[in-house]
Every structure is written in C-alpha cells, then in structure tokens.
Amino acid sequence: MSQAHKAINYRFFSTPGSTIFYQNIKDFSLNYSFEGIYKIEDMYNALDSLDEERIKNAIEAVFSDFRREFTAPEIIKMYVVNIIYKSIAIVSSLGGNTDQIPLLDSITGILAKSLIIDEMEKMAYEYCSKFVIYAKSIKNNTKNSDMKLVEEYIKNNYTRNLTIREISKKLYIHPNYLGHQINKWFGCSFNEYLHGLRMEEAKNLLENTNLKVHEIAERVGYSSYSNFLDQFVKKFSIKPSDYKIMLNNKN
C-alpha cells in the first residue's frame, strides 16, 4: 500500500485537523475481520429493549473495539446497516410505518459518503435515539388501542360468565400479560374491575326498575345470590334489599 493510501485510511481513525506522521502509519493496516459484525447480537438486544442508555453503551463498546482493532470502514458501515435493518424490523413488528422512521433517508445517504469513525459513531447514536422515540410512540399507541379494545369487550360482556382467558383468546393477547396490563390500565385486578361494573349496573337497576333483587343479581351476571350480596355490601356498605327500601322511603 502506498504512503498516501495509508494516510487516507489512518485518517479515518484520527480526530479532525490532526497531523498524521509517517512513523505512526508506516506499519499501519486495516483490519477486515468480521468480528465486529459477529458482536451485532448485543446491539440487537439493546435495540429490542428500546433502552436508550443500553443502546448507547452497546454502540460505545463496539466502536471502541473498532478503534482498537483498526477495523476497516467498510466493515463498520456493514455494522451500521445491520442496525438500520434491525430497527426497520422492530418498527414493522410493532405495526408502524417504516417510511416514517426518523433519519432513515438521511443516514442511508450519509453512509455513501466518506466519514471518519467519530462521525459514524455519532451518526449511529443519533439515528438510534430518534428510532427509540419513534418506536416507543408506536408501542404506546398500540397499548392504548389494546386498552380500549379490552375495556369495550368487558363492558359489552360483563353481565355473563366472562373470563380473562376468553378475552385473551378473542383479542389475541396472552392471558398473563393481559392480567398484568389490566392492573396497570384500571388500577385493579380483572375480577375487581368486573365486579365494579356489575355493582354499578345493579345499583342503576335498583334505582330505575321494579326488578326483584334476585332478578337483578342474575341480570348483572351472578348465578350465586350470596356472591352478589357479598359484592354489593362490599361496594356500597349496605344490602341491596335495604338500599331498595331506602329508595322507596325517599319516594
């Protein structure tokens, strides 16, 4: 390799404006090993986590290796391209529009240019930071959508023998995950939420119909009257029959 070519390759690892001395480059050669690419799994896992700090650490670690091993720019570009492909796959799996990934067009254009390693690292980090924000926004929208679907399904079916397993099958959500999410969304367990809806409807029927208490119990989804009675007293601190008497006395 000529001295000029060595200088060009060495400059890739130098800070902007620095002077290159022949004694530093006379034995210099680029490393075309794919070892950096083999480490991509750490980066993939960081991207999957959507944890910006973890992603930053993964980028810093691999670029530190690239500098120490004088990895060829072509190999580093392959690494960055793999990051882009992974980010596209994640956005696609979340149901997002891959055309709207921030910086996607600009980063693919930049990769065609001659950059030094510091610029490539900065570019990779900026891209990942924007990607994380976009992916999280998609994920949050998906969660909100799931919450509305679950809430609507329960409100349309709470007066019968409804189970969390049935909802999970209908909406294609794992039952354990669904139970955890219901706690987060509504601040209570599935059964507590279900009983709460039934009790509010029972109270409404006591106030606005002439149905007997046992008929109301069946109407709101209880095959066991004692279970209905326990839930009503727990919710309103009064028996439904006494509540009905109180309403009649007011009238």
Which residues are paired to 71 by β-bridges? 31
Instruction: Write out pLDDT tens, residues 175-192.
Output: 888 999 899 889 999 999
**Residue 228 pLDDT > 90:** yes
Selection from 63, 60, 61, 109 nearest residue 84 by Cα: 109
**Residue 6 pLDDT > 90:** no
Dihedral sign for Cα 152, 158, 159, 165, please. positive
pLDDT at 246: 87
Cβ atoms within 10 Å, residue 218: 14
DSSP-assigned states of every residue in 210-244: ---HHHHHHHTT-S-HHHHHHHHHHHHSS-HHHHH
Q: 48 by DSSP, 3-state: which?
A: helix
**Residue 39 pLDDT > 90:** no
**Residue 28 pLDDT > 80:** no
Side chain identity, residue 96:
G
pLDDT at 4: 46
Q: What is the mean pLDDT of residues 36-65?
A: 90
Band (pLDDT 50/70/90 cuts) for residue 132 is very high
Q: At what angle do helices 117-157 and 73-93 cross, to 10 degrees?
A: 10
Selection from 232, 197, 196 nearest residue 214 by Cα: 232
% of the chain at pLDDT higher than 90: 49
Q: What is the mean pLDDT of residues 185-213?
A: 94
pLDDT at 1: 47
Q: 27 by DSSP, 3-state: which?
A: coil
End-to-end CA distance of the chain: 102
Cα–Cα dist 1/8, whole Å:
11
CA 92-94-95 angle, 5° bins: 65
Band (pLDDT 50/70/90 cuts) for residue 92 is confident
Alpha helix ranges (H) inside 70-189: 73-93, 104-110, 117-157, 164-171, 175-186
Cα–Cα dist 62/35, whole Å:
10
pLDDT at 20: 46
Dihedral sign for Cα 62, 68, 69, 75, please. positive
pTM of the model: 0.55
